């Protein structure tokens, strides 16, 4: 961290005189590529509502963790989200309902359970506000270290599984005929999303987290011509929006998460117009 602080001090930026801004910038440099990478497969696999539902289940996990008196409820939330993801995959593979119906069922049940637990016995809801309006400016060096470990793990996972995930997303039957265990690939991927979403809600407003998981990939999809460009643009857009959003939030005094999201929305609009112009 000391090396990072020194690098920041060399940069002629007023906002980097504060330690919490230095931490936030480093967290963004780690978290946005993570979200950009994951976004490609969420968009291709048409799983945007699923990741939204996972955010809701994470909140329920946090409520359970708090009730159980666990100091850091994030790990309970991770465990609950993974359980939620696995249960969803299991029911989906054995149900005739479409994915969006099942997502609705699981999402609303998770939220209702979370609110029920949080308010059980007349409890106050306000202690959960951190998770509903999470802030990247509150990130600590220890949490940045954890984010870095997750980023490395996801990159390794991507190198090993991305070909199989792509094939499973675009044509499961074809993937299966090539010897790919599509069920296993989907289960592992949903578990990865569950972990990322749950860890991220401490620093990004829960209500807009999903847009960070969808917009980079959706914008990249507008202009990319192949898989390589798709990943490159998605990570780049997430990174640009992360840095720009942090700077905007500092000077305008607005929420960093919301600013990042709005920059991504602008990038989506621009790439959408470029796509139209390119036709």
Partner 1 sequence: MNIGTHGGSCSHSCCLRVQNLSVKIGSESILTDVNMHVHCGELVALIGPNGAGKSTLLKAILGQQEYSGVISFSVPGQRNRHAKIGYVPQTPSFDPGDPVTVADLFACCMSKRPAFLGISKAMREKILACLQRVSGEELVDKRVGTLSGGELQRVLLALALEPLPNVLILDEPLSGVDVEGMEALMEMLDDILKTYDLSIVMTTHDFGMLHKYADQVYLIDRGVVCSGTAAEVLDSRSFHQVFHRKGGI
**Residues written for the chain:** 279
Q: Rule CB under 8 A: is residue 273 a binding residue for partner 1?
A: no
Among residues 216 and 257, whose Cβ is nearest to partner 1?
Answer: 216
Q: Rule CB under 8 A: is residue 173 a binding residue for partner 1?
A: yes
Smallest distance from the beta carbon of 189 to partner 1, in angstroms?
14
If 0-12 CB within 10 Å is exposed, 13-18 middle and 19+ buried, where does residue 82 land? buried
Q: Rule CB under 8 A: is residue 274 a binding residue for partner 1?
A: no
Structure token pair of residue 61? 């996990």
Question: Of 1, 152, 174, 266, which one interacts with partner 1 (CB under 8 A)?
Answer: 174
Question: Of 30, 62, 231, 241, which one interacts with partner 1 (CB under 8 A)?
Answer: 231
Interface map 33-52 toward partner 1 (x if CB under 8 A): -------x---x--------
Cα–chain center distance at 208: 10
Question: Of 229, 251, 266, 269, which one interacts with partner 1 (CB under 8 A)?
Answer: 229
Stretch near partner 1 under the rule CB under 8 A, chosen from 69-77, 114-122, 170-178, 197-205:
170-178
Among residues 136 and 224, whose Cβ is nearest to partner 1?
Answer: 224
* SS3 letters across 199-239: HHCCCCCHHHHHHHHHHHHHHHHHHCCCHHHHHHHHHHHHH
Question: Of 103, 220, 241, 258, which one interacts with partner 1 (CB under 8 A)?
Answer: 220
**Residue recorded with tokens 């809801």:** 125
Q: Rule CB under 8 A: is residue 94 a binding residue for partner 1?
A: no
Distance CA 23, CA 7 (A): 12
Q: Rule CB under 8 A: is residue 22 a binding residue for partner 1?
A: no
Q: What share of the chain is helix, strand, coil (3-state, %, to 5)?
A: 85, 0, 15
Structure token pair of residue 276? 């139209």
Residues in Cβ contact with 133 at an 8 Å cutoff, skipping those fewer than 6 apart: 205, 255
Q: Rule CB under 8 A: is residue 129 a binding residue for partner 1?
A: no
Among residues 6 and 225, whose Cβ is nearest to partner 1?
Answer: 225
Distance CA 13, CA 23 (A): 14
Number of residues that bind partner 1 (CB under 8 A): 27
Instruction: List residues binding partner 1 (CB under 8 A).
Output: 40, 44, 158-159, 162-164, 166-167, 170-171, 173-174, 176-179, 220-221, 224-231
């Amino acid at each position: 961290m000391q090396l990072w602080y020194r690098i920041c001090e060399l940069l002629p930026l007023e906002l980097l005189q504060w330690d919490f801004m230095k931490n936030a910038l480093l967290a963004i440099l780690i978290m946005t590529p993570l979200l950009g990478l994951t976004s490609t497969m969420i968009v291709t696999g048409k799983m945007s509502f699923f990741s939204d539902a996972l955010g809701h289940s994470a909140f329920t996990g946090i409520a359970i963790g708090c009730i159980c008196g666990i100091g850091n409820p994030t790990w309970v939330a991770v465990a609950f989200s993974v359980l939620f993801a696995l249960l969803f995959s299991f029911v989906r593979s054995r149900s005739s309902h479409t994915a969006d119906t099942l997502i609705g069922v699981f999402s609303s049940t998770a939220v209702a359970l979370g609110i029920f637990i949080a308010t059980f016995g007349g409890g106050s809801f306000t202690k959960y506000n951190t998770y509903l309006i999470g802030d990247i400016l509150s990130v600590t060096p220890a949490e940045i270290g954890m984010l870095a470990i997750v980023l490395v793990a996801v990159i390794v996972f991507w190198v090993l599984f991305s070909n199989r995930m792509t094939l499973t997303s675009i044509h499961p039957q074809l993937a299966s005929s090539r010897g790919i265990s599509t069920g296993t690939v989907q289960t592992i991927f949903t578990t990865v999303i569950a972990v990322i979403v749950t860890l991220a809600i401490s620093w990004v407003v829960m209500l807009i987290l999903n847009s960070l998981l969808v917009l980079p990939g959706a914008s990249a999809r507008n202009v990319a011509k192949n898989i390589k460009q798709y990943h490159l643009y998605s990570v780049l857009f997430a990174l640009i929006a992360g840095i720009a959003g942090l700077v905007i939030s500092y000077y305008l005094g607005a929420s960093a998460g919301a600013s990042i999201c709005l920059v991504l929305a602008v990038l989506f609009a621009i790439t959408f117009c470029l796509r139209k112009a390119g036709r």
